[in-house]
């Protein structure tokens, strides 16, 4: 299971990346055309109040409305929207992921069962992430996005001797740059391509005290980065009609080569779809499904002993998961300068299906909080 490596997914991803390059080139050509027609749609421009078409009713051709709480996707979705030319957006996301107990395949397994095969069992793990983002749109067709994560991880363990210990890491994760290229815009439906790259700024040399000694290399899931350059291809579809909006995104992570500890994390695939309802000008709620599939580790860190603890085994990392998530978006469509245009959002989710190459810690719930503020640069 989880043979994402050497699978049709990889072939598909390579094709997608080639397509992205072609589309990037084409969209630059399109940009100059668009400018000469001086086309102007007010998407995501918070300073203008003249395009609340969806609230005025009886409009046949709807324009894309960037001033509704659900014009941004549920906050757990990255690279979900594009901006109008000359817009900047600052974002901050806080993400909390709680993992408790182990699973093999779709079955839960006890710590005792894990300890039959390993000296140490991971019992639970918390992952926190502060994600700072900046978006800028040089044209109506291209939005550039940069994201810097700060990650904090903590994992508890039980040993065969019955003692417990905790390991902790924190620091900058992998910085990501993504180009969002709008390839289709039919006023109330849009498609953009996500062409991203992740840079190996996150540490893969994190150490902490364990029963084996004071300064031990920590297993794979406690590291802060992938150690490799990773391609982040994707495609996003968005729609809105009256008070309803919807969208879906297909995205991947493709590891390029091997890191300097002689391994590369598994490739990953994410398919998500959501629907949202705009209750008033200022609040919307959403429901979302998110399918994630990630592969095992290729190669191995020679400082880790896979017989000791399952987190150190490169073949016990892959899995599939389907999450169900519920979110609320708030948007200040009116108010004084600096308040107007502010967005706050929250999304909470939990797996409804989980299939892990294990023993591996299972995910129990995921929470994302976010703040977004778009403003015109000129």
| Sole binder of Cu ion in the list 9, 45, 78, 89 (CB under 5 A) | 89
- 3-state class of 244 per DSSP? strand
When computed from its CA atoms, the radius of gyration of the chain, rounded to whole angstroms, is: 22
Nearest distance from residue 374's CB to Cu ion, in Å?
Answer: 6
What span, in angstroms and rounded, lies between the C-alpha atoms of 328 and 348?
A: 9
Residue number, 82 or 228, with CB nearest to Cu ion: 82
Q: Closest separation between CB of residue 276 and Cu ion, Å?
A: 16
- Measured from the CB atom, the residue of 4 and 345 that comes closer to Cu ion is 345
Give burial (CB, 10 Å; 0-12/13-18/19+) of 214: exposed
Find the shortest distance in angstroms from Cβ 372 to Cu ion: 6
Q: How big is the CA angle at 80 (ends 278 and 183), to the nearest 5 degrees?
A: 110
Give whichever of 89 and 250 is closer to Cu ion, judged by the CB atom: 89
Closest CA to 329 of 238, 266, 245: 245
Segment near Cu ion (CB under 5 A); pick from 86-94, 150-158, 259-267, 330-338: 86-94
Least spacing, CB of residue 89 vs Cu ion, in Å: 4
Beta carbon nearer to Cu ion, 135 or 367: 135
On whether the CB atoms of residues 125 and 153 are closer than 8 A, the answer is yes
C-beta of residue 10 within 8 angstroms of C-beta of residue 4: yes
CB of 332 to Cu ion, least distance (A): 15
Which residues fall within 8 angstroms of residue 146, CB to CB, at 6 or more apart? 133, 134, 175, 176, 177, 178
How far is Cα of residue 373 from the mean position of the Cα atoms in its chain?
A: 19
Residue pair 90/342 in contact (Cβ under 8 Å)? The answer is: no
- 102 or 236: CB nearest Cu ion: 236
- Find all residues with CB under 8 Å of 281, minimum gap 6, and list them: 52, 55, 67, 68, 69, 331, 333, 334
Residue 268 found at the interface with Cu ion (CB under 5 A): no
* Nearest CB to Cu ion, comparing residues 137 and 259: 137
Return the structure tokens found at 57.
């009713």
The nearer residue to Cu ion, 263 or 373, going by C-beta atoms, is 373
Piece in contact with Cu ion (CB under 5 A), picked from 82-90, 196-204, 275-283, 339-347: 82-90
Of residues 2 and 82, the one with the C-beta less far from Cu ion = 82
Site track 225-254 with Cu ion (rule: CB under 5 A), x = hit: ------------------------------
Binding residues for Cu ion, rule CB under 5 A, total: 2
- Cβ atoms of 44 and 85 closer than 8 Å: no
Q: How far is the CB of 108 from Cu ion (least distance, A)?
A: 39
- Binding to Cu ion (CB under 5 A): which residues in 121-150? 135
The nearest distance, CB 344 to Cu ion, in angstroms, is 14
Q: Which residue is nearest to Cu ion (CB)?
A: 89
Q: Where do contacts with Cu ion occur on this chain (CB under 5 A)?
A: 89, 135
């Amino acid at each position: 299971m989880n043979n994402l490596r050497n699978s049709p997914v990889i072939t598909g991803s390579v094709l997608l990346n080639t397509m992205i390059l072609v589309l990037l080139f084409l969209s630059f050509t399109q940009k100059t055309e668009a400018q000469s027609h001086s086309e102007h749609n007010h998407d995501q421009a918070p300073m203008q109040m003249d395009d609340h078409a969806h609230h005025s009713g009886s409009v046949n051709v709807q324009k894309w409305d960037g001033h509704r709480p659900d014009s941004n996707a549920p906050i757990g979705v990255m690279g979900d929207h594009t901006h109008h030319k000359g817009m900047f957006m600052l974002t901050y996301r806080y993400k909390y992921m709680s993992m408790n107990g182990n699973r093999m395949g779709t079955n839960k397994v006890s710590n005792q069962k894990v300890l039959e095969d390993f000296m140490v069992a991971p019992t639970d793990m918390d992952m926190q992430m502060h994600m700072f983002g900046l978006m800028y749109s040089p044209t109506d067709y291209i939005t550039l996005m940069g994201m810097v994560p700060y990650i904090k991880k903590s994992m508890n363990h039980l040993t065969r001797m019955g003692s417990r210990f905790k390991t902790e890491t924190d620091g900058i994760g992998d910085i990501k740059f993504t180009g969002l290229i709008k390839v289709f815009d039919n006023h109330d439906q849009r498609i953009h391509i996500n062409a991203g790259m992740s840079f190996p700024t996150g540490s893969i040399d994190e150490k902490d005290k364990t029963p084996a000694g004071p300064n031990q290399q920590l297993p794979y899931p406690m590291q802060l980065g992938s150690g490799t350059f990773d391609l982040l291809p994707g495609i996003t579809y968005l729609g809105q009609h009256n008070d309803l909006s919807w969208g879906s995104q297909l995205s991947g992570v493709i590891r390029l080569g091997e890191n300097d500890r002689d391994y590369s994390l598994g490739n990953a695939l994410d398919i998500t779809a959501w629907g949202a309802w705009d209750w008033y000008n200022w609040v919307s709620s959403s429901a979302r499904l998110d399918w994630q599939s990630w592969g095992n580790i290729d190669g191995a860190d020679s400082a880790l002993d896979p017989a000791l603890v399952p987190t150190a085994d490169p073949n016990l990392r892959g899995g599939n998961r389907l999450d169900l998530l519920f979110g609320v978006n708030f948007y200040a469509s009116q108010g004084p300068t600096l308040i107007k245009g502010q967005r706050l959002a929250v999304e909470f989710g939990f797996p409804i299906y989980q299939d892990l190459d294990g023993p591996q810690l299972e995910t129990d719930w995921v929470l994302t909080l976010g703040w977004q503020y778009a403003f015109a640069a000129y």
